[in-house]
């Protein structure tokens, strides 16, 4: 993958709003954002209601994903262009999720909803409906998904990238600062994980930095290109943003997103945890 | 044990703080963005830590309000809005106290 195949600009999007075979999808936790105005023709996916199992902590299964995309009118051959708020966190999460279930052509709108709004581009409240399809998903591609045992095994041997804010990494905060901080799990990070906040990869308008800038950021942070990589955050959406940067923009191989992330790891009994600003010992 | 796996999407910014949130334990930075006399909805407010590193971002509510749950210390609140210059405001947050920030763009 590369920037040209994984990312589209707002200008490209604006020119392709009515192109057959291109489906714009807004992904937000807060679906009122979509309801208050969305890119013309875009449909919405709710990252939690649509993409999470309602009972267990896991994703919807292959059959449920097929049914969801079929009902929303997304076909296997469609180019899916994802965008959303929160600097595309949830859109990047959905991108990774579409890849997990084997969708062929999926792209992220650079800058997401924020750049679109800051550029004063058109938003509409028109209802969008698409004819149903018969979508066929693959089994999950587990080469891009890490589980807790993978993370424990990676301590001191693989690249672990903690993409939360420096204060979350150090254990001074337990959640992003727009959320209440009372949590049951322990603060800190996985020992030997390097701290590269997802925000390092983005400009203030939400667009991604250039490939050269991105390569420099991860090289200076100590990411070893020769090793496998696991990215994590709190619940796996900010780390999808970094997974996207490393695998889809920079073309690193063997990058996994740990969707359990700190809400799982920080609640495990008996695993090592490091506090403070340094990675710590393996 | 309860583990909050709700998302990282910004909660409704003008909504009352949920009863489950103990304000005496929280370090709240709260504020309002205005252009002249008018509240600015949908402005992007970024919270930067003492080193200038990004920590969080929320859009303002319909009434121009925003809110962060931070840690005690020095922070910068940076506001981005269409057709406006970027505005920075420094704020010192304390546990159990709501630090109020007024932003004029």
Which pLDDT does position A2 carry in this prediction?
85
Residue B47 lies in a domain: yes
What mean pLDDT is predicted for residues A85-94? 93
| Any domain includes B19 | no
Where residue A257 falls (left for φ over 0; alpha for ψ -120 to 50; beta otherwise) is beta
Position B10 scores a pLDDT of 63
Phi, psi of A256 (to 5 degrees): -120, 150
Domain A143-265 sits in CATH at 3.40.250.10
Is A238 within 8 Å of B8 when comparing Cβ atoms?
Answer: yes
A233: annotated active-site residue: yes
Residue B22 maps to a domain: no
Rounded distance between C-alpha atoms, residue A37 and residue A81, angstroms: 17
Full domain range(s) for residue B88: 27-104
Q: Is residue B92 part of a domain?
A: yes
State how far the Cα of A77 lies from the Cα of A123, in Å rounded to an integer.
26
Q: Using an 8 Å CB-CB cutoff, list chain B residues near A264.
A: 3
pLDDT of residue B18: 67
Place domain A3-140 in its CATH homologous superfamily: Rhodanese-like domain (3.40.250.10)
Are B55 and A205 an interchain contact pair (Cβ–Cβ within 8 Å)?
A: no
Chain B residues with beta carbon closer than 8 angstroms to that of A197? 53-54
**pTM for this predicted structure:** 0.90
**What is the structure's pLDDT at B91?**
96
Would the pLDDT of B5 be above 70? no
CB contact under 8 A, B68 and A30: no
The conformation of residue A242, written as its DSSP 8-state character, comes to H
> B82 and A234 in contact by Cβ < 8 A?
no
| B4 falls within a domain | no
Total domains, chain B = 1
Provide, as residue numbers in chain B, all residues whose Cβ is less than 8 Å from the Cβ of A117. Answer: 42, 82
Dist CA A217 CA A231 (whole Å): 15
Q: Please name the member of A166, A175, A237 whose beta carbon is closest to the beta carbon of B53.
A: A166
């Amino acid at each position: 993958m590369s920037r040209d195949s994984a990312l589209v600009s707002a200008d490209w999007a604006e020119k392709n709003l009515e192109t057959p075979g291109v489906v714009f999808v807004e992904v937000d936790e807060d679906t009122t954002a979509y309801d208050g105005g969305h890119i013309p023709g875009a449909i919405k996916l709710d990252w939690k209601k649509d993409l999470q199992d309602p009972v267990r902590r896991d994703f919807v299964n292959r059959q449920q994903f097929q049914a969801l995309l079929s009902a929303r009118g997304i076909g296997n051959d469609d180019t899916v262009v994802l965008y959303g708020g929160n600097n595309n966190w949830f859109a990047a999460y959905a991108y990774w999720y579409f890849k997990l279930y084997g969708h062929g052509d999926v792209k992220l709108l650079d800058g997401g909803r924020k750049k679109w709004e800051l550029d004063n581009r058109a938003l509409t409240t028109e209802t969008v409906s698409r004819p149903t399809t018969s979508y066929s998903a693959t089994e999950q591609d587990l080469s891009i998904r890490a589980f807790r045992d993978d993370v424990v095994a990676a301590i001191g041997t693989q690249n672990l990238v903690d993409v939360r804010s420096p204060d979350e990494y150090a254990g001074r905060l337990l959640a992003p600062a727009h959320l209440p901080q009372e949590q049951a799990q322990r603060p800190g990070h996985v020992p030997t994980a390097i701290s590269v906040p997802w925000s390092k990869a983005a400009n203030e308008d939400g667009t991604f930095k250039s490939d050269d800038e991105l390569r420099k950021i991860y090289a200076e942070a100590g990411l070893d290109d020769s090793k496998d990589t696991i990215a994590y955050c709190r619940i796996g959406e900010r780390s999808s943003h970094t997974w996207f940067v490393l695998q889809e923009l920079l073309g690193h191989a063997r990058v996994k997103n740990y969707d359990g992330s700190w809400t799982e790891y920080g609640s495990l009994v008996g695993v090592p945890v490091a506090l403070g600003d340094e990675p710590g010992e393996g | 044990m309860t583990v909050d796996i709700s998302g990282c999407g910004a909660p409704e910014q003008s909504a009352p703080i949920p009863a489950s949130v103990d304000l005496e334990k929280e370090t709240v930075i709260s504020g309002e963005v205005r252009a002249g006399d008018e509240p600015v909805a949908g402005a992007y407010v970024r919270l930067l830590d003492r080193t200038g590193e990004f920590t969080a971002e929320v859009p303002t509510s319909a009434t121009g309000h925003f809110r962060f749950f931070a840690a005690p210390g020095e922070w910068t609140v940076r506001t981005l809005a269409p057709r406006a210059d970027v505005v920075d405001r420094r704020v010192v947050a304390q546990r159990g106290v709501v630090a109020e920030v007024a932003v004029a763009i």
